[in-house]
Structure 1
Amino acid sequence: MVRRAGGALLAALPVDRQGGQALGAQLYVALRDLILSGGLAPGARLPSSRTLAQDLGVSRTTVVGAYERLVSEGLIEARVGAGSHVAQVLQGDLPPTARPSTPGPATPGPAVPPAPRLSRAAAAALKAATARDRLPGAPGAFVSGLPELDAFPMAQWARLSARHWRSQRSAVMGYGPPGGDPALRAAIAGHLRLNRGITCRAEQVFVTAGAQQAFRLIGSTILNPGDAVWFENPGALGARNALAASGARLVPVPVDADGLVVEAGLRQAPGFRLAFVTPSHQQPLGSVLSLERRLALLAAARAADAWVVEDDYDGEFFFGRQPLPTLQGIDRGGRVIYVGTFSKSLFPALRLGFMLLPEALVEPFSAVLAAAGPGVPAVTQAVVADFITEGHFATHIRRMRKLYAERHMVLRTEMEAALGDRLTLMPCASGLHTVALLPAGLDEGAVAAAAAARGLHTGPLAQYAIAPLDQQGLVLGFGCLRPSLIRRGVSGLAAALGDVAARG
């Protein structure tokens, strides 16, 4: 069992040497309040009387007296050879703290705090957020956005991690460059050249703490409050909330089988400042932005002097025909900001993403990131760089493409057999999820609620929309589901549809 050497750090306890109250009494009151407020949890180890006396600059006798009083009241326990700990009997028994908002006697139970005053940007972000905007925690039918974690090559990862933790401490424990580890930036640039057909320099790659930080940086650096942003409708939840937080005006642009309808965007906001698209695998519908639409979008951006954010969140995992070139790869005007993430291709806990910026934005973003400071631990970046350059990343991607293709086929086969006359699966050639369209007259909210009652995770299309949609459907993840779980999930979904039908 690992023993904590010094107990909790309590150097900030208020001790007023100029006041009239004895130091021992002050210390006793401060510790008592800290324990009763939950600041020290039941079982938490207190520093020794000698250590606390040194931290606070008081005599050891003063600390011993305060500890003895707390022991006599049952708030702490003194254990021979183990020090003093907050009493375990306090678990769950702490009284609620009443903070009345108006003068007068306290009433039982916690008071409702007043609504905080927020910036307009924060209020917009809260309004854009939805109750279902939660990141998946564990596999389950039909959780979307979560890769298959059991297939990750942990042995290679552990070996690389151990190598770097044995290296010079300053290399893994200090602050890294704001734009990212040069080795990782070079590795990402090399991967993009070979796998995605993107010509770029390592200096154009900026490492971020996940794609979400990239979207927030883009919004805060490029957008002013009220700027028009073309946004796919339906579209990605996380990016929507991040861009809304900048105060931008999100313009809902419809999506069809060929992706973003550029003509509709031009009708609504020809003077747009930025367009957000997921061209390789539209989130959530799964369509691929056609080459004609890609060229039209780039032409519209040039005419409006606008930028385009290409979110390639799971473009690595195509299992149909060879994918179309990326928007960034065919952009000749320097308008596309390419955003990628390792949350799907490796694992979400890395919190690692990147931006590939046009040359014109390299200097401004360098300044912004220098002011913000590094966001990803140096050792994490170093391990990922080696994982890519030593070939483990490419091997893992090939394996996962095959695995996801097999699971998609299982889902399609099971759905057609059990629900082919009630649900229509959208075409899908990549990624970790697909969409099942509902027939007219069937409410997606009711179906999702019935599915949730049976332990299923389905996402109604409406939660991805910022304007009403003409179709209703459910987002079904399959990437993290083994075939047996997919089959059980389809059976549960069929039963949920029966529950809705029975209620009329």
Structure 2
Amino acid sequence: MKRKAGAILSSIRIDRTGNKKIGVQLYMALRDLILSGGLAGAERLPASRTLASELGVSRTTVIDALDRLVSEGLLEARVGAGTFVSSTIRNKVRLPKVQVKPETSTSCRLSDIATQAARHFAPRDRLPDKSAAFVTGLPALDKFPMAQWSRISARHWRSDRDALMGYGNPFGLPALRAAIAAHLNASRGIQCDPDQVFIVSGAQQAFALIARLLLNQGDKTWFENPGAIGARNAFTAAGADLVPVEIDDEGLVVEDGLSKEPDFRLAFVTPSHQQPLGKVMSLSRRLALLQAAEQANAYVIEDDYDGDFYFGNQPLPTLKSIDTSHRVIYVGTFSKTLFPSLRLGFLLAPPALVEPLKTICTSSLSGSPTWAQAAVADFINEGFFATHIRTMRTLYRQRHSELHIHSGLVAPYLDIQHASAGFHTVGFLKHPLEEQRLVDEAARAGIVLSAIGKYCLTPLSARGVVIGYGSCGTQTIRNAMKTLSSVVGELV
């Protein structure tokens, strides 16, 4: 195996007009890099011939400087391996901290939209990267079929480099767009042309793209209250005027939206599994929402973030599948069905928006990574995706059941709701306890909860927490419920 060539030392500057000898300059520059942490302990330096060529000095000059540093113990010469920064100084030097003074409001001028949006952004916790009880939004990464995925990925990395490593199609890889269209038809009852499918870097980019396409500053946008924080911030960033619409057991209360703002421009809903309350929008409400959108000449964003994981009775048809007026923009993500770091999602546009979206994508987007799209396309076409979805439906049903088996431990304090899809539910507080206090105390005990209040545009009378069970094994759920019982018991 070819050895690493060593660090690139382009920051070293040799002054050939000064009085200081070149060898001394090189010695002092290398010494400063080592002592400041610019060269880490045990890091390999370039070969003397390479360093001499890159700096434009003689090899003898380089060897003299290196030998001096070796004699001082800052470098180690290993026969047949090269020259390395001494391992004895590993972790004993630190890069200097650079003090950055924040810009004042008078010296940093932002756009009006950015200034206004900053005042209305909802605080958003760092998205989870580790499985734990009871994080939300994270699928069961331990059950992902890594063997099949690795084989497919490796196959593509051995394929045509031009097709894999160049700039991809800004609308998405045609093979993946076709695979998604076929999947939506078979699993969600949505008939569409692959030309309507646009690949994006996650659902969040889809929301931002739609907002850029459709919204002017101040446009009225119906938004579920409580609702998804990421989408909320995307529309806020575009200058939308968000109208909080109530949620009940049938989902979005269309009459509430009409009473507050009948002339809306856009509506955002999560009908298959409301985020965060977990309600499923009834068919009558879906039809009422479509009718309201048609009357207002508005569009509806259907965020179907975990609709593939429906484990209740027969799922209701998607909004998109019953949309006869072409008002629904359907958004999906592979962050939940596969894994979040893939950073792939898609939107399905109504026919009238296809060409405008193509114009925006061509003009301002470079497309998502081609290799990932190619791998996902094969993962779908070869049947692994469907198998994985079925497996995860069963798993999430089991983990949901496990949560409720042990819900009696917290029953005096929390009313944990039954879910019919996805991998989170909510627990409503039965005592006059502050949501955030419970969240904070649970965090100290190693349990991650989210307060319902942080999802709200306007306050709710009900108080509670969001409980994720997708990334927790059964034993983890049992232990966490016992811990949570102790935590909340001490607070009430």
TM-score (norm 1): 0.88
Q: Which residue of 2 is the match for residue 49 of structure 1?
A: 48
Work out whether 1:466 is the aligned partner of 2:465: no
Cα distance, 1:466 vs structure 2: 2.5
Between the aligned partners of 1:115 and 1:36, the Cα distance in structure 2 is 35
How much identity, in percent, do the aligned residues show? 55
C-alpha separation in 2, matches of 1:354 and 1:470: 35
**Which residue of structure 2 lines up, in the alignment, with residue 104 of structure 1?**
none
**What is residue 448 of structure 2 aligned with on the other side?**
457
> How far apart in 2 are the matches of 1:288 and 1:97?
51
Which stretch of the first structure deviates more once superposed, 210-219 or 380-389?
Answer: 210-219
Deviations 1:72-130 (A, max 9, x none): 666554444333334441524336346xxxxxxxxxxx465446835555556655556
Match of 1:268 among 257, 260, 264: 260
Q: Which amino acid is 1:396 matched to?
A: H
Q: Provide structure 2 residue ranges, at least 5 long, that are not aligned to the other structure.
A: none
Structure 2 match to 1:204: 196
- Which SS does the other structure have where 1:244 is aligned? helix
Residue 77 (structure 2) pairs with residue 91 (structure 1): no
Q: Contact 1:133–1:237 (CA<8 Å) still a contact in 2?
A: no
Whole-Å Cα distance in 2 between the matches of residues 252 and 69 of structure 1? Answer: 70
1:177 aligns with 2:169: yes
| 2:217 is the alignment partner of 1:218 | no
Moved more, 240-249 or 81-90: 81-90
Aligned counterpart in structure 1 of residue 467 of structure 2, from 460, 465, 476: 476
Shift of 1:333: 2.0
Deviations 1:346-402 (A, max 9, x none): 122211111111111111222222233444322221121111111111111111111
Task: Give the 5 Å matches for 1:6-85.
Answer: 6-11=5-10, 13-14=12-13, 31=30, 35=34, 38-64=37-63, 67=66, 76-85=75-84
Distance 1:307 1:32 in 2: 63
Q: How far off its partner does 1:230 sit?
A: 2.0
Q: 1:446 aligns with which of 407, 422, 437?
A: 437
Structure 1: state its 5+ residue gaps: 99-109
C-alpha change, 1:54 and 1:428, in structure 2 (3 Å) is: same
From 470, 474, 496, the counterpart of 2:487? 496
- For the pair 1:293 / 2:285, whether they are aligned, the reply is yes
Secondary structure of residue in 1 paired with 2:143: coil
User: Between Structure 1 and Structure 2, how many residues are aligned?
Assistant: 488
**CA distances 1:258-283 after superposition (whole Å, capped 9, x unpaired):** 21222333333333332211111000
Task: After TM superposition, give the deviation of residue 29 of structure 1 in Å.
Answer: 6.0
The partner residue of 1:336 within 328, 333, 344 is 328
Tell me which of 136, 139, 149 is aligned to 2:141: 149
1:379 aligned to which of 338, 355, 371: 371
Distance, in Å, in 2 between the alignment partners of 1:73 and 1:120 is 58
Answer whether contact 2:170 2:368 (CA < 8 A) is retained. Answer: no
Change (3 A) 1:20 1:197: farther
- Conservation of the 8 A alpha-carbon contact between 1:143 and 1:458: yes
Deviation for aligned residue 1:460 = 0.7
Shift of 1:444: 1.2
Q: Is the CA contact 2:121–2:236 (under 8 Å) kept in the aligned structure 1? A: no
CA contact (8 A) 2:122 2:233 kept: no
Q: Distance in 2 between matches of 1:219 and 1:29?
A: 55
Distance 1:12 1:462, change over 3 A: same
Partner SS, residue 167 of structure 1 = coil
Deviates more, 1:56-65 or 1:232-241: 56-65
Residues 292-347 of structure 1 show CA distances to partners (whole Å, capped at 9, x for unaligned) of: 22222223323333222111000001111112111111112222111101111112
Higher mean displacement: 179-188 or 2-11:
2-11
Q: 1:322 to 1:377 in 2, by over 3 A?
A: same
Distance 1:472 1:453 in 2: 21
Q: Does 1:404 align with 2:363?
A: no
Shift of 1:15: 5.3
Q: CA deviation at 1:25?
A: 5.8
CA distance in 1, matches of 2:45, 2:116: 43
- Mapped pair 1:393 → 2:385: yes
Q: Give the match's secondary structure for 2:94.
A: coil
Corresponding letter in the other structure for 2:356? P
8 Å CA contact 1:125–1:242 kept in 2: the answer is no
Q: CA deviation at 1:177?
A: 1.3
**Structure 1 residue identity aligned to 2:348:** L
CA distance 1:375–1:4, shift in 2 (3 Å): farther
- Alpha carbons 2:220, 2:266 under 8 Å: kept: yes
Cα distance 1:111–1:194, how it changes in 2: closer, same or farther (>3 A)? Answer: closer
Shift of 1:27: 5.1
Question: Is 121-130 or 294-303 further displaced after alignment?
Answer: 121-130
> Distance in 2 between the 1:125 and 1:261 partners?
26
The one-letter code sitting in structure 2 at the alignment partner of 1:292 is: S
Root-mean-square deviation over aligned CA pairs: 2.7
Q: Deviations over 1:52-73 (max 9, x none)?
A: 3333444434544554565566
**Aligned with 2:185: secondary structure?**
helix
Q: Is the 8 A contact 1:37 1:97 kept in 2?
A: no
1:242 maps to 2:242: no
User: Aligned to 2:304, which of 307, 312, 317?
Assistant: 312
Asked whether the equivalents of residues 341 and 352 of structure 1 are also in contact (C-alpha less than 8 Å), the reply is: yes
Q: Verify: 1:436 aligned to 2:427, yes or no.
A: yes
1:102 corresponds to: none
**483-492 or 79-88, which moves further after superposition?**
79-88
Distance in 2, matches of 1:94 and 1:385, equals: 45
Normalising by the residue count of structure 2, what TM-score does the alignment of the two structures yield?
A: 0.90
Query: Which residue identity does 1:454 align to in structure 2?
Result: A
**Local SS of the residue matching 2:262:** coil
Q: 1:485 aligns with which of 465, 471, 476?
A: 476
CA 1:269–1:47: 2 relative to 1, 3 Å: farther
SS in 2 for 1:250: strand
Q: Deviation digits for residues 229-260 of structure 1, max 9, x if unmatched?
A: 22212111222222323233333222221212
In 2 relative to 1, CA 24–177 (structure 1 residues): closer, same or farther, beyond 3 Å?
farther
C-alpha distance 4-339 of structure 1, shift in aligned 2 (>3 A): farther
